Structure 1
């Protein structure tokens, strides 16, 4: 169906039915989606409007095998057929390429607002031949409306829950003869849905965001010059400004904000609180991005044409997020990913269209310069807690030595033939007056040490607790009372620091300061490509295509770890998480020849089958947070994909697309939280793994009667995965292994009805999304997750919109609702880089029911 803005101009044309043409440019040729012999899904402007979508995460439900992450705007990423790539590291790229208006969009630039969008296309499987850079698993192609001759425009407002205010507008006009202008803007602002009650001193003068608050603006101006019947030039300017709440962190620990302090549970274990207390310093997720694009189209004759695309895009991002979900200053940790990047992208394309043969070929060149700072910030109070844990370990060793000495003096080790576990068991039984046989094999030396340590009262929660510190000083032979410790401030701490030659033992006068250890990376990435693709029509029913592309990627990359600024306050201290290093560099190149071959056969006008084999490639690269990748950059991703498909219209009313695929992916670059030996903090780290995928995707659209349509999309996938050995987030070595699994059950059902009630046009849109929860199959989860409400629930979302347009199509009014079932879910898995070290896991949840109204005026 036509978009509202264009409906007035088309009101006298016949209504669309299931057989009408849906145009796509999946093969860089204008084609009917039901005739193109590749797997491609298209989301129209009408679906975008009816569903209230403004981001890729809003439309992924309409496309089988496609997901877009929701937890962060600047570190979001595409997942196609279960394969995603991390976006935190500027040293690598996603496995699926994203294009906007024919221009490649790297990492943090992918997530842009939809405003005045013509359609979104998603191509599955390797698309390297035509789209090149990093299209190993597929392509997302966003196509905005272009300037045109007719005058048109609209202004629209969307208002709703949590003070949602979304204003959008567009105007298209002819400025002078043969020069057309199209301008649009969108502003989206919504309050958070969980109140943040923290008011730390360090945020005085800074905005404190409630969790889930959004604030995003975008605008675009495009000018098209129709220089002649055969030549046109379009210049566009895009602006995008994001300034909103940081990624969500709801603390699930005894140290998180407790809304019900009178109950029996200490702390917060409710994932859906009304209030939290996040003391994040300067928390914000922001992006300032601009882009300039020139497009030139020229027809040489009736057969040959060319297109030139040249674009420069620049952005700066900040993503400062809470990592502990508490306001406990002794457990404070935040991270921030700050990026300053720009990319110069160019493509020169030639096209030939003959009676039998069509050809697309060209060259691409891109140059990207990046700077990234990955901050890790803790308070000195947190550092003192980490030092406390180390001291506790040392005190425990002293206690262990005393236990061992006692066993030796009692002759128990000799009695046990030198076996300290047996000697400890005999000792434990003697204390209880039991026969030694009851304890041998049941009690170990470490058990006895643990008990003696617990009984000693020497374990400290925090070394700035005067009573606890006095006990430890006594254990090390320093006679000091709690009163003396409290009265002398830093004195006893400084004495202990001198005694043990450890400046990290410092006193409470340093409280409330910040300690930062930052990774700084720079990169210079250059990519070249040349491609040719042929499509030959053997007959009216049968065509075949063949294409090749050569790609080369050159990458230069640097690392630096800064020394904590606290060293200026406390001479002698050094980094505790990562040792400071001066800048080091690396460079490497990767190249690959990829291609595709396939055929399509039109059984009848309404039914076709197709088959294809394609290869894809994504360059290797460097891990911005893992310096070992300087010597061992991670391997490229290489993909081989065999695809069989069917497209058809059954009984003139059921449009059907089926796609069966077999994919082999070698060297997949996956990001995991890793804490190897000698590293005090878990960090995202890239590991390589090999996968084999077998799956099917189904799209159905049934026109029940004129104006009433039912749709369904779903997919099923089996995966065999071979992973290399790595250390997980708590430092356990996970051996190399092979895992087989199935995708979760998921589907989307849609219902659209254009009602004829004689008072203009009334439309109803409903979509229902189901996604099976697979957390029940995850191993190694902490026991308390069993008590988290809704943690194992399947996802069920019901969304609807009903609209009315006046007979002259000038006005449209709508009522809408999202998550009408008001279901609450935990987004992603239980997280937190501080879960092991500081005992502060956290999670992210969805917003509940939303509802509101829309008003639109078109002209």
Structure 2
């Protein structure tokens, strides 16, 4: 969830507000608890229906003394969810970015980590079928999923690798004995076609087979009207178009009553539109109906993204072997080994225009793999439970970060440099004129005073009216503007002719136009700069790419004990030792344009031959806590846990070779309550105090000497105080109402860094509070006598905090809906036949048809080329669903 930051030390006010809310909520919970404790046992305990494996054991979610949320298969289906970004609304303190499939990331309690750099890791770990999922592999389709668990707070003891802020645990259905299957089709707005199927049967005696697939395709919702020559014969995607397929096949062999072996194969293929860039500049697509140059309406249904061969793609496969064995009634083991590999491409427009002289695209290409292994030993006794094990993983990564511009854009950048040189010449002439007029002597050598006297003299004013109001730079700026020598682009014959004349080369505009590259080549020789080249090179591409490789090895050993002192009171304690070894290399390739124009060199980043670095980090993390079961319906718990995320390297910052960023270290104190109030209201409250040292945050940075802003990792320290609330009220049999929300305060100490336009942002301490956000749900299983009829509704509210952002350009006030709060209403009504073979449904998303600007106004070219852009959401969606089960 987003944070609104306020400079200064206003922490006290926020803490008082948090303490007041915490006390009020705690008193209310205590009152409800006392009331419920006096009542008789309910006939049906709604807390019995959800199980989790948050502690590497199968447990009732309402009996687990840690903060864990679970999203069931029913919720996934009723909400039409197929990705993590679809279900984050049901979990307080959890967010999954919607930007891209291959560079998405988990945010837990306001903390996320950069995912663009293969040299770093996320702060929250993602697991699928007991296997750790790195960066670009995290975002997978939900197909035949049993449930999703999200654990908040450090989970390093049991889950280990990079679980400093929490864990997302995706649990697919396993093969089983009974024959079952289904085929489902979902059809809707923008030609949505989603086909899903599953089949499960006994292949041989004691050998079970389960397979599923999901294919999801939907047209875009913004027409891309750009048709550059370089995309002839290449698919031009509508913005927002989706095309994603996935399949899974598993075989389970029940070797004996206490032993089973499962082998799974996962396949994932993504080929869809690249992330959108709707330009909001005078150079972007112009709406012919508003008569305004450029575009300031991001919802006009048209945009120009001229990215060459733009696409987001991923080809991923995985093989997993799991062995479970019970030694006796007390001891058991589980062994997991998995190999996953993927190739990705994410080539996207970075300027939001079809202006060839302002073209820039980037592409993050990756070819990586991970070999993950875990051996786990379990003991379950009358009083003592134990989980211990060892983990080993090895990642091999290769990443190429492309930065591509046209030669027309390069010529524009060169134009800026020439303008600066011409301006220096004009400045020299102004200085010489002031000296010859004796004004500098009159001003006793002060050039600003001399310039002020000169400016007043021209206007017939007394010098006192200008001194202190006009500077030498102001006079130079005016003289330069009056000279007519400033060029928009050096390939403009009239402008180029004027500049040549200023440098003593007599060339008329007609001569410049008629002789092609001749005058440019002559100027290149005069200035000794091959970067001055003529218009015959137009339409070519200039690339400067970062290439990184990595070899990462991680080891872990852990033990966790849970002791039941009485029927109501238990305590747990665990430790893990983790070691991470990283070898990493950098290379910046030389632009291929050197083959076309000998002598040119990189203009964005100097070429660097491959070189490497290596480092190791290790940490001992642990947890200790207790839970007290007041009665069958109510429990309270408390825990203290530490977490760790390995240090690493910034793939786009070669200085991190000698200064790798430090690990993230987390300390978390948490207290909570879980219970069923008045026999029908399932309640979870969690209060936490988190200290995060060395948070690795990605910022767009343009330090001195660097011509282009790039994502750069900076470290900062944070203190978090927050509360999370989950409520589920069973109003009557078959009808439930739910609500989730969270509130958080943050104190943040950041280090100094250069922002995207090269300004030094000093180290500072800022404080803030999370925006207002909540999700309301309503589910009703209607009894109309003809099968089962279900209604699901969810409403999501998120406060817009852009109004608190400083330094925004004035025109954002004219961007429609830019300051709107987010309000999404979604619904689905379904009917299933009495034998449950057939199910029909009608569904709608964003029923209010609200349109939003996603994220903030941005773009790597906003400062250099004047081309900011935004992304937007899809409007109202509706459709039908047909399912046949067998």
- TM-score interval (norm. to shorter): over 0.9
Classify the secondary structure of the residue corresponding to 1:687: strand
Q: Is 2:314 the counterpart of 1:281?
A: no
What is the match of residue 615 of structure 2? Answer: 588
What is the match of residue 394 of structure 1? Answer: 421
Question: Which residues in structure 2 correspond to 1:632-781 (within 5 Å)?
Answer: 632-781=659-808
Q: Is 2:474 the counterpart of 1:468?
A: no
Partners of 2:300 and 2:558 in 1: CA distance: 54
What is the match of residue 256 of structure 2? Answer: 228
Equivalent pairs counted in the alignment come to 845
What is the match of residue 43 of structure 1? Answer: 71
Q: Displacement, 1:273?
A: 1.8
What is the match of residue 144 of structure 1? Answer: 172
Partners of 1:747 and 1:198 in 2: CA distance: 39
What is the match of residue 633 of structure 2? Answer: 606
Classify the secondary structure of the residue corresponding to 2:823: strand
Q: Retained in 2: the 8 A contact 1:71–1:248?
A: no
Q: Displacement, 1:199?
A: 1.3
Partners of 1:160 and 1:16 in 2: CA distance: 39
Partners of 1:850 and 1:215 in 2: CA distance: 17
Partners of 2:43 and 2:402 in 1: CA distance: 56
Moved over 2 A (4+): 14-21
Q: Displacement, 1:47?
A: 0.1
Partners of 1:646 and 1:325 in 2: CA distance: 49
TM-score, normalized by length of structure 1?
0.98
- From 158, 161, 166, give the equivalent of 2:186: 158
- From 230, 237, 245, give the equivalent of 1:202: 230
Partners of 2:671 and 2:44 in 1: CA distance: 29
What is the match of residue 535 of structure 1? Answer: 562
What is the match of residue 320 of structure 2? Answer: 293
Q: Retained in 1: the 8 A contact 2:47–2:62?
A: no
What is the match of residue 314 of structure 1? Answer: 341
Q: Displacement, 1:263?
A: 4.0
Q: Is 2:599 the counterpart of 1:551?
A: no
Q: Displacement, 1:16?
A: 7.5
Q: Is 2:87 the counterpart of 1:59?
A: yes
What is the match of residue 819 of structure 1? Answer: 846
What is the match of residue 189 of structure 1? Answer: 217
Which digits, 9 at most, give the CA deviation of each residue in 1:185-206, with x for residues without a partner?
Answer: 0000000000111111111111
Classify the secondary structure of the residue corresponding to 1:226: strand
Which digits, 9 at most, give the CA deviation of each residue in 1:641-687, with x for residues without a partner?
Answer: 00000000000010000000000000000000000000000000000
Q: Displacement, 1:299?
A: 0.2
Question: Which residues in structure 2 correspond to 1:350-499 (within 5 Å)?
Answer: 350-499=377-526
What is the match of residue 7 of structure 1? Answer: none
Q: Displacement, 1:17?
A: 6.1
What is the match of residue 243 of structure 2? Answer: 215
Partners of 1:458 and 1:15 in 2: CA distance: 87
Q: Displacement, 1:21?
A: 2.9
What is the match of residue 156 of structure 2? Answer: 128
Classify the secondary structure of the residue corresponding to 1:129: coil
What is the match of residue 35 of structure 2? Answer: none
Runs (5+) with no aligned partner, structure 2? 1-41
What is the match of residue 23 of structure 1? Answer: 51
What is the match of residue 3 of structure 1? Answer: none
Partners of 1:422 and 1:824 in 2: CA distance: 54
Partners of 1:817 and 1:605 in 2: CA distance: 39
- From 363, 368, 372, give the equivalent of 1:336: 363
Q: Displacement, 1:27?
A: 0.2
Q: Displacement, 1:797?
A: 0.2
Partners of 2:290 and 2:677 in 1: CA distance: 61
Partners of 1:409 and 1:572 in 2: CA distance: 42
Q: Retained in 2: the 8 A contact 1:712–1:747?
A: yes
Which digits, 9 at most, give the CA deviation of each residue in 1:362-390, with x for residues without a partner?
Answer: 00000000000000000000000000000
Which digits, 9 at most, give the CA deviation of each residue in 1:304-331, with x for residues without a partner?
Answer: 0000000000000000000000000000
Q: Is 2:264 the counterpart of 1:241?
A: no
Classify the secondary structure of the residue corresponding to 1:130: coil
Q: Is 2:206 the counterpart of 1:178?
A: yes
Partners of 2:656 and 2:679 in 1: CA distance: 57
TM-score, normalized by length of structure 2?
0.95
Partners of 2:803 and 2:710 in 1: CA distance: 25
Which digits, 9 at most, give the CA deviation of each residue in 1:68-109, with x for residues without a partner?
Answer: 000100000000000000100000110000000000000000
Classify the secondary structure of the residue corresponding to 2:88: helix
Partners of 1:210 and 1:733 in 2: CA distance: 38
What is the match of residue 130 of structure 2? Answer: 102
Q: Is 2:531 the counterpart of 1:519?
A: no
Runs (5+) with no aligned partner, structure 1? 1-13
Partners of 2:673 and 2:296 in 1: CA distance: 49
Partners of 2:328 and 2:733 in 1: CA distance: 42
Which digits, 9 at most, give the CA deviation of each residue in 1:180-224, with x for residues without a partner?
Answer: 000000000000000111111111111100000000000000000
Q: Retained in 2: the 8 A contact 1:17–1:706?
A: no
Partners of 2:815 and 2:45 in 1: CA distance: 48
Q: Retained in 1: the 8 A contact 2:47–2:60?
A: no
Classify the secondary structure of the residue corresponding to 1:340: strand
Q: Displacement, 1:20?
A: 2.8
Which digits, 9 at most, give the CA deviation of each residue in 1:742-783, with x for residues without a partner?
Answer: 000000000000000001100000000000011111111111
Partners of 1:782 and 1:89 in 2: CA distance: 30
Q: Retained in 2: the 8 A contact 1:420–1:445?
A: yes
- From 655, 658, 667, give the equivalent of 1:628: 655
Q: Retained in 1: the 8 A contact 2:263–2:322?
A: yes
Q: Retained in 1: the 8 A contact 2:48–2:60?
A: no
Q: Displacement, 1:264?
A: 4.1
Partners of 2:806 and 2:153 in 1: CA distance: 30
Q: Is 2:813 the counterpart of 1:786?
A: yes
Classify the secondary structure of the residue corresponding to 1:199: coil
- From 863, 866, 869, give the equivalent of 1:836: 863
Classify the secondary structure of the residue corresponding to 1:779: coil
Partners of 2:562 and 2:840 in 1: CA distance: 46
Q: Displacement, 1:785?
A: 1.0
Q: Displacement, 1:15?
A: 12
